[in-house]
Amino acid sequence: MAETTDIKLQEYQADFLMADCRFPALISAWGTGKSMCGILKGMKLSEEYPGNRGVIFRREFTDLANSTMKDFTLYTGIPVSEYKKKVELPNKSEIIFLHMKELDVLKNMNIGWFLLEQAEELESPEQFDYLDGRLRLKAAGIRQGMVIANTTDKTHWLYQYWVENARNDDRFKYWQATSFDNEENLPADTIASWKLLKERNPAVYRRFVMNEWGVSADEFVLIPYEILQLLRPLEIEYPFTRRIVSVDPSQGGDECVIYAMENYRIIDKLILQGVEFRDTMKVAGHVAVFAKKNIIEHIAIDSIGIGAGIADRLRELGFQVFYVQSADRSGIAQYSNKRAEMYAYVSDMVREKRIPYPADEEAAKQLASVHYKVLGSNGQIALEKKDEVKKRIGRSPDRGDCYVYGIYHTQFCPDASIRKRDYNRRHREEEMAGSFMSS
């Protein structure tokens, strides 16, 4: 059953749905009904023109299957087979669901309409222009290429095609809205939560709630350098003693980074460089000696690639090893993977002033160099890849990642001071058992 009956249509939504220009775009904030409007407009064209053919396009297959196709069923009541990725209507119209790597499917096929969902995910207009080239099905009556998206910076093709060109080319028309323009259709606690972003995360608030153009990617940093600087004067006392060694092996990066941490402070570090330190057993040996020197038995290590072999060897040597799979799915829906979750955890610790300033200035700079993106209307956070950071700043954020692994996994380490007291108590009891006082 379609879930649109309880929604009060807003003026901007109605204008988009009824638009007859060739390229209508709804570029609006979270909670403004973009997906609903795009899907309903596509259905309208398919139902009005028998034998029509439409395409709903998304950049990634996972987003297409887990979000777009499910939204289609939610708003139309029509199930979509993940295998067929196609819907056939009684009037012989069909709707096809595609992702970026499947555009060749349309090579010899004409279409009557297309919908680009989350078009800001596309870094160039290549796919849009390709779909425009297939927009020539005679049965369609009216042929339209629709776009739904969030605002972008002013260098993005969306801004250039619609905002800059709209004055000169009346085929391109767009409608905008803030989250508050659709407030009556949204839960009160959702609106209240988004309002808090104004102070907590201004960049996200401006782009995704207030629908502001031109918010730079440089503003999307989970751990801003100026916020880190507020940690410098702090002297934090903890009611525990937790120690960990964190390791980011050199596998395409610039360095193999090894930190020893006690209560979130870097107390020792070892930076390995050169090809020889991509040797599994040699790195494992260095880490083992380093950990024993600092009297630490818990190790968090990036276990992708050669890190897996290093982690296995360290476990064989008797260490307690946390296998860090940064690309794994996070257990928290807000984050696209484990790496984003760990960075967000450290960001919260920094903003709440619960940890000291990093005792490695290069690590601090790298922490503040990692950008993130907000995916879709659910606000999911995805970090840019290490290769992308390296391309932008000229070095891999190996130290930043290693620091994050250590801070995040410290929470899972036992209190070493309690274990030391227990050891001392048992040792004293053993001595007492053999003393004259026990006889």
Mean pLDDT of 262-288: 89
Q: How many CB atoms lie within 10 A of CB 120?
A: 23
Question: What pLDDT digit, counting tens, does each position of 5-30 carry?
Answer: 577 899 999 999 999 999 999 999 99
Q: Which run of H or of E encompasses 389?
A: helix 386-393
Treating both helix axes as pointing N-terminal to C-terminal, what angle do 280-293 and 306-316 enclose, rounded to 10 degrees? 50
How far CA 78 is from CA of 99, 100, 279, 299, in Å, comes to 20, 24, 54, 50
The Cα–Cα gap between 116 and 397 comes to 33
Q: Residue 418's pLDDT is what?
A: 66
SS (HEC) of 139-199: HHCCCEEEEEECCCCCCCHHHHHHHHCCCCCCCEEEECCCHHHHHHHCCHHHHHHHHHHHH
Per-residue pLDDT at 146 exceeds 90 = yes
Q: How many CB atoms lie within 10 A of CB 172?
A: 20
Q: Which residue has the higher pLDDT, 404 or 430?
A: 404
Backbone angles phi, psi at 23, to 5 degrees: -130, 80
- Domain at 11-186: CATH code: 3.40.50.300
β-strand pairing of 94-99 with 86-88: antiparallel
Least confident of 15-29, 43-57, 115-129, 158-172: 158-172
Give residue limits of the domains in the chain.
Answer: 11-186, 225-417
Per-residue pLDDT at 437 exceeds 50 = no
Question: What pLDDT digit, counting tens, does each position of 85-95 carry?
Answer: 999 999 999 99
The Cα–Cα gap between 75 and 2 comes to 4
Q: Residue 275's pLDDT is what?
A: 65
Residue the block writes with tokens 């401006």: 206
Q: Residue 279's pLDDT is what?
A: 84
For residue 258, give both structure tokens: 């090894």
Treating both helix axes as pointing N-terminal to C-terminal, what angle do 398-410 and 338-351 enclose, rounded to 10 degrees? 80
Q: Residue 167's pLDDT is what?
A: 64
pLDDT band at 107 (very low <50, low <70, confident <90, very high): confident
Instruction: Please give the CATH topology (third level) of the domain spanning 225-417.
Output: Nucleotidyltransferase; domain 5 (3.30.420)
Question: What pLDDT digit, counting tens, does each position of 160-207 carry?
Answer: 999 998 568 999 999 999 999 999 999 999 999 999 989 888 999 999
Q: Cα dihedral sign for 208, 100, 252, 325?
A: positive
The one-letter code for the residue type at 183 is E
Treating both helix axes as pointing N-terminal to C-terminal, what angle do 34-48 and 69-76 enclose, rounded to 10 degrees? 70
pLDDT band at 84 (very low <50, low <70, confident <90, very high): confident
For residue 363, give both structure tokens: 């690590």
Q: How many CB atoms lie within 10 A of CB 235?
A: 5
Mean model confidence pLDDT for the chain: 90
